[in-house]
């Protein structure tokens, strides 16, 4: 059962390259015309896929953009978009101080601390990988 659920989740997830392709293929809406109307003022039909792409682009900043933004906060969803699996995300949230805003239930971490954690735990030829018991 777990394997089925896991396989389904990986096929539904878009990669960052997929998202970039979807966003560039999405029709550009002219600033002068309201969404869903043509230049002559008639209502144009929209598809559900177009609406979901626009909604995702408006309400959910891309995680890679947030990594470049000083002072930004990352949620578990952002870390998932960056390719981390649930266990890795849990490890990150255990390691770093968590920002918990009053009245908001989603925990967040600071971008700078996440980048520093990745930098400290990236092992190249000049460092020996630590083994934790």
What is the 8-class DSSP label of residue 73? E
List, for residues 99-129, the tens digit of each pLDDT value: 999 999 999 999 999 999 999 988 887 777 6
- 3-26 mean pLDDT: 58
Q: Please give the model's pTM, rounded to 2 decimal places.
A: 0.52
Greater pLDDT, 17 or 33 = 17
Quick one: three-class SS letters along 84-102? Answer: CCHHHHHHHHHHCCCECCC
- DSSP for 3-60 reads HHHHHHHHHHPPPHHHHHHHHHHSPPPPTTS-TTB-TTSPBPP--HHHHHHHHHHHHS
List, for residues 21-52, the tens digit of each pLDDT value: 666 655 443 434 455 555 555 555 555 555 65
Read off the tokens for 81.
Answer: 């978009």
């Amino acid at each position: 059962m777990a394997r089925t659920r896991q396989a389904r989740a990986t096929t539904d997830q878009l990669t960052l390259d997929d998202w970039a392709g979807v966003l560039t293929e999405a029709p550009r809406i002219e600033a002068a015309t309201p969404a869903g109307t043509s230049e002559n003022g008639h209502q144009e039909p929209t598809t559900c896929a177009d609406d979901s792409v626009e909604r995702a682009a408006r309400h959910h900043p891309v995680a890679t953009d947030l990594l470049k933004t000083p002072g930004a906060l990352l949620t578990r969803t952002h870390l998932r978009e960056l390719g981390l699996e649930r266990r890795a995300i849990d490890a990150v949230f255990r390691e770093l101080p968590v920002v918990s805003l009053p009245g908001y239930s989603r925990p967040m971490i600071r971008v700078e601390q996440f980048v520093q954690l990745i930098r400290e735990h990236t092992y190249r030829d000049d460092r020996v990988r630590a083994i934790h018991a």
